[in-house]
Structures are given as structure tokens and as C-alpha cells.
Amino acid sequence: MEDLSLHILDIAENSLRAGSTFVEIEIDVDTAADRITITVRDNGKGMTEAEIKQVMDPFYSSKTTHRIGLGIPLLHESASQANGSVRIESEPGKGTTVTAWFELSHIDRRPFGKITETIITLIAGNPDVNFRYTSNMDGTKFTFATEEIKKSLREVPINSIEVLNFIRRALIEHEISLP
């Protein structure tokens, strides 16, 4: 994958295929520690220990339409190339948390990408799912939650163009700028 935001999109889409009604995306940038941490947490069907081991295998996929599942192995490769790693925690019936970390200044760290477009894509295509996005850049924290917006919208769908444009502007205003 070309950038980290596409990895985030892939993991979140896995969450949605697992039946999640809530997906949380956290980005934590600590320039003093030279580290970026990405966490995607969901309330989907979860996985057993055996399934967690299988998702690291690029030739395994739980999808019936594809024979391989490259998302997690590619994320692991991207993290490894930047002196990082990936951890998966999951419990059947409770959900999954995927955490990846990268050395921020590493020459082989993928660019961050367009996280705003990733979040907009997820909301537009999944209006019934609640998303929470939190970015923390050296202690400056921003949180965005669709559940809160949906409460104030009443009859207007969250994936209407007007609402998506409003969300896009709010996310752009708080976008992470990586060195």
C-alpha cells in the first residue's frame, strides 16, 4: 500500500466485514519518542488465537470471493520496514484491536496519506456504523465521533453531501501534519 491511511482503510473495512457497528481509529504521533502508533478497534465478531495467527499469513483469507488476504501482512511489512511492528488482540464475540507502530523518522516509513478522505470514505459507505477518530499530535488531541453528529442531524442522513462536506472541513482543520 502506498500510504498509512490506505492501511487504515483496509483494517477498518475488515472490521466492517466482521459485522462491526462501531469502529474506532486512533493516531498517536510522538515526535520526541520518534513514533507513530495507529490503532483500529472494533466491536465485530472477533477472532480466536488460531484465527489471529492465520490473518498474518498472506495466503489466508476469510473472504469467499478472494483467495488471499494481504491487508494485515502488508501492514506488518510496512511497520517492519520502519522499525515497527503490529499487534492484534481479539476475543470472539467482543471485537478486535489492531495496533501498528512505526519509527516516525525512518526513511522507509510510508507517508501518512489522506486520512480525511479515508474517514469520509468510511462514513459515506457505511452510514449505519458509528465511527470515532482520534488524533493526538504531541499532546494536541482531536476527537470526532459520528454518533454525536447523527444525534443532531435527526432526519438528515450522515452520508448526505452537505453533511460529508461539513465533516471534511472539520477533519481538514485538525489534520495531522507529519514531518
CB-based contact 83:106 (threshold 8 Å): yes
Residue 64 falls inside a structural domain: yes
Question: Cell 432526519 sits at which residue?
Answer: 155
What mean pLDDT do residues 151-167 have? 94
Please give the tally of structural domains in the chain: 1
- Mean predicted confidence (pLDDT) in 116-133: 97
Alpha-carbon distance 176 to 50, whole Å? 36
Beta strand 35-42 with 95-103 is antiparallel
Assigned C-alpha cell, 176: 495531522
Please give the pLDDT value at position 61.
Answer: 54
Joined grid coordinates for residue 162? 452537505
The answer to whether position 152 is within a domain reads yes
Q: Is residue 52 part of a domain?
A: yes
Angle separating helix axes 115-125 and 161-173, nearest 10 degrees = 150
**Structural domain range at position 95:** 4-173
CATH, residue 13: 3.30.565.10
Residue partners of 171: CB distance under 8 A and separation at least 6: 115, 116, 119, 120, 133, 144
Q: What is the pTM of this model?
A: 0.91
Query: What pLDDT is attached to residue 59?
Result: 63
Give the tens place of pLDDT for each residue, 31-47: 999 999 999 999 999 99
C-alpha cell at 37: 502508533
Q: Give the model's pLDDT for residue 179.
A: 62
Does 36 reside within a domain? yes
pLDDT of residue 60: 53
Q: Span 149-163, mean pLDDT?
A: 93
CB contact burial 86-96 (16+ within 10 A = b; e otherwise): bebebeeeebb
Residue 25 lies in a domain: yes
Q: Is residue 179 part of a domain?
A: no
> pLDDT per residue over 48-106, tens digit each?
999 998 887 766 555 444 444 468 999 999 999 999 999 999 999 999 999 999 999 99
Domain contains 76:
yes
